[in-house]
Amino acid sequence: VLARLGAPGAEAVLIPALEIPSHRELVRQAALEGLADVGSLEAFGRAAVLVRAVHDDDLRRTALSVLERAGSEDPQILDLLFELLGDVDQEIVGTAIEILGRVGKLDASRSVRRLLALAGPGVPAERAQAIQAAVQAIRRPADAAEKAPAGG
């Protein structure tokens, strides 16, 4: 709420809140989302640490969402997403695939190669479809280019 209201000093309150354990990690999730809302440079780094280090699925998904928002133009997000493609939590893998479909254009050829490497024999049909959708999204021309008038 502090972040959405643009309260001065919100970042100074939110950073320590990332260390406060709570039921279902709700405090840490809210603090992380708040940091992203205020455009904090801390948001990306803290989210990257949390998505790797914590065992709470909801907090990890929040961290992934923040990573996408805070780092969608940062090539470092790709390295983290590639790392998460090998995660033991299949929901995290699925979310990483979806996010790669949205930000993979930062390094399209490497993103496509990494995704297609997951699509080998024995991959469940649902996962194969998600991989294919992400690959198609990466290969699709930017929306602005599609909507630009011809010869303009």
Res. 131: pLDDT tops 90: yes
Strand, helix or coil for residue 139: helix
Instruction: Phi first, then psi: give them for residue 20, nearest 5 degrees.
Output: -90, 110
**Range of 9-13, 74-78, 115-119 with top mean pLDDT:** 115-119
Residue 9: what pLDDT? 79
Instruction: Phi first, then psi: give them for residue 48, nearest 5 degrees.
Output: -65, -40
**Mean pLDDT score across all residues of the chain:** 84
